[in-house]
Structure 1
Amino acid sequence: MGKIFLLMGKSSSGKDTIYRELMRKDEINLKKVVSYTTRPMREGETDGVQYLFKNEEEYKKLKADNKIIEERAYDTKCGIWRYFTADDGQIDLSDGDYLIIGTLESYCYIRDYFGKENVVPVYIDTNARTRLERAMHREDKQENPRYDEMCRRFLADEEDFSETKLSEAKIEKRFENNAEIDDCIKEITEYIAQKIR
């Protein structure tokens, strides 16, 4: 029986880079799960690669058919944008192991849906100063930097990944990503390899 490894951490903790590197590791051979969104496709995105793009009606149909495993909604200036994981056949635990990027909340929903013995949390822990420096560096590169949004995300993550919530979700293992990301990736790769043996 395969496992779902759910990669999570606060913003600017290095999740996207770690995810890309883990997906390249032949020794753990993880499969990708593409999440859904109702937000408009951005320039350079491809349906089925970054997300599976659905409209509100398609989302409602999946919801009515009890296919939504977990979801998050954000009230934006352009309306409500939904991000969700659906039971659409992408995950077949009899056919391998999977890697998903998510939030602490999505981890809990996916764990409860597939069973705690089948879902393994991979929590990336990065100190606040390092995260702020990375976030500032990333925002500085944007054509229209949104420092206000950067700060909002930073503060929201402090609440969403509070020690109380981590404890309630029984997140005990942490992977430090404060200095050399390669060391963090190596440690996670070895951890996953042990879990899938």
Structure 2
Amino acid sequence: MGRIFLLMGKSTSGKDTIYRELIKNEELKLNKVIPYTTRPMRDGETDGVQYFFKDEQGYQNLKADGKIIEERTYHTNYGEWRYFTVDDGQIDLSAGNYLVIGTLESYCYIRDYFGKENVVPLLIDVDAKIRLQRAMHREDKQEHPKYDEMCRRFLADEEDFSEDKIAQAMVQDRFKNNDKIDDCINEITRYIIQKIG
């Protein structure tokens, strides 16, 4: 029986880079699970690669069909943005192991849906000052920077990943990504090998 490794952390914790490197690692043989969102695509994103981008009607259709495993709605400065995981056949635990990017909240829903023994949390920790510096650098590269949204996300993450919520979710293992991202990737790789070995 396979497992779902759920990579989570605050914005600009390095999740996307870590995800790409773990997926590329042939030793791990992790399958991708692409989440869904109603938010607009960022520069450089492609539908079906980082996310499946849906409009509100597409989201409502999936919800009406009972296909949504978990969902989060963020009330942004640009409207409601939904992020969700869909039971669309991407996950088959009899066929292998999977890597998913999510939040603490989505981890709890996915864990409850697939069973605690089948879902392994991978929490990335980064100091607040480093996260802010990374967020500014990323936003500076956008054609139309949204600094107000960047600040909202930073503050929301502080609440969403509070120590109380981490404890309630029973997430114990954490992986620091304050310095060289390769060190964090190597630590997570060893951890996954231990879990699937």
Q: Is TM-score (shorter-chain normalized) higher than 0.5?
A: yes
After superposition, residues 83-122 of structure 1 pair within 5 angstroms as 83-122=83-122
Partners of 1:133 and 1:108 lie apart in 2 by 29
Cα distance change, pair 60–146 in 1 and its aligned pair in 2 (3 A): closer
Contact 2:76 2:152 in 1 (8 A): no
Distance in 1 between residues matched to 2:143 and 2:64, nearest whole Å: 40
Q: Would the alpha carbon gap of residues 54 and 140 (structure 1) be closer, same or farther in structure 2, given more than 3 Å must change?
A: closer
Distance 1:143-1:122 versus aligned 2 partners, 3 A rule: same
Gaps of 5+ in 2: none
CA deviation string 1:68-114 (max 9, x = no partner): 10112234566433221011111000000000110100000000000
| In structure 1, C-alpha distance between the alignment counterparts of 2:53 and 2:179, rounded to whole Å | 35
- Structure 1: how far apart are the matches of 2:57 and 2:134? 37
Instruction: Show the counterpart of 2:53.
Output: 53
**Aligned-pair distance for 1:23?**
0.7
How do residues 139-150 of structure 1 correspond to structure 2 at under 5 angstroms? 139-150=139-150
Partner of 2:29: 29
In 2: Cα distance, 1:124 partner to 1:142 partner: 24
Partners of 1:133 and 1:38 lie apart in 2 by: 27
Equivalent-residue separation in structure 1 for 2:132 and 2:181 (angstroms): 16
CA distance in 1, matches of 2:2, 2:108: 18
* More off after superposition, 69-78 vs 181-190: 69-78
Equivalent residue letter for 1:184: C
TM superposition score normalised by structure 1: 0.92
Change (3 A) 1:42 1:157: closer
Unpaired runs of 5+ residues, structure 1, are none
What residue in structure 2 maps to residue 159 of structure 1? 159
Count of aligned positions = 197
Say if 2:76 and 2:149, in contact at 8 Å, map to a contact too.
no
RMSD over aligned CA atoms reads: 1.8
**TM-score for both structures, normalised by structure 2:** 0.92
2-structure distance, mates of 1:137, 1:158: 19
Deviation of the 1:40 alpha carbon: 4.7
Displacement of 1:168 after TM fit? 0.2
Q: Does 55-64 or 129-138 show the bigger shift?
A: 55-64
Counterparts of 1:78 and 1:13 in 2: how far apart (Å)? 23
Shift of the 154–78 alpha-carbon distance from structure 1 to 2, 3 Å rule, reads: closer
Distance 1:29 1:159, change over 3 A: same
